[in-house]
Amino acid sequence: MATIEARLAELGITLPDAPMPAANYVPFVRSGNQIFVSGQISNGPDGLIKGRLGANMDVAEGALAARFCGLALIAQAKAAIGDLDKIARVVKLTGFVNSTADFTDQPKVINGCSDLMVEVFGDTGRHARSAVSAASLPLGVAVEIEAIFEIT
């Protein structure tokens, strides 16, 4: 069993199927030794995770939504390259948080995804990151995150 697949099993993580695009874009683009994964929206086992941080969701709920985005990002990376052991580095995450104007804990929300990347990939999962607020997100979801992975 591959190292990352074994780590996922050890953590009790089952990746979802890589989500299909909802509009006129592709889920990922490979350019040289990088995979650019389109934004993945918060979608859990019970469907879309909707809400607005600072209004009807707290930081812990937002971080869980971000973790589900991270699972979808890993699933897309696997769809792109087939073998997660080919990931040399999680280069960057850009996280968007559906939040009120006075909400300032976007970084704590996106930590749900960042923490997952380190859990799964170890030091290879440490990355650069942006965490920003959005007045709204597609379909009313709480979080959307995109990623750049370096591959071998």
pLDDT for 35-90, tens place per residue?
A: 999 999 999 999 999 999 999 999 999 999 999 999 999 999 999 999 999 999 99
Cα–Cα–Cα angle for 26, 28, 31, rounded to 5 degrees: 120
Give the count of domains, the chain: 1
Mean pLDDT, range 79-108, rounded to an integer: 98
- Residue 84 has phi, psi (to 5 degrees) of -65, -20
pLDDT value at residue 1: 54
Asked if residue 134 belongs to a domain, the reply is no
Q: pTM for this structure?
A: 0.97
Neighbour count for residue 94 (Cβ, 10 Å): 16
28 in a structural domain: no
- Residue-number span of the structural domain to which 53 is assigned: 3-14+41-123+140-151
Q: Give domain status of residue 115, yes or no.
A: yes
Q: Is residue 97 part of a domain?
A: yes
CATH of the domain at 76: 3.30.1330.40
The mean pLDDT value of the chain amounts to 97
Residue 4 CA to its chain's centroid (Å): 17
Chain Cα centroid distance, residue 9: 19
Are 43 and 143 a contacting pair, CB within 8 Å? no
Q: Tell whether 66 is covered by a domain.
A: yes
User: Quick check: is 133 in a domain?
Assistant: no
In a domain, 102, yes or no: yes
| pLDDT > 60? residue 15 | yes
Label residue 2 by pLDDT band (50, 70, 90).
confident
Whether residue 27 lies inside any domain: the answer is no
Query: Any idea what DSSP says for residue 108?
Result: H
Q: How large a percentage of the chain has pLDDT more than 90? A: 98
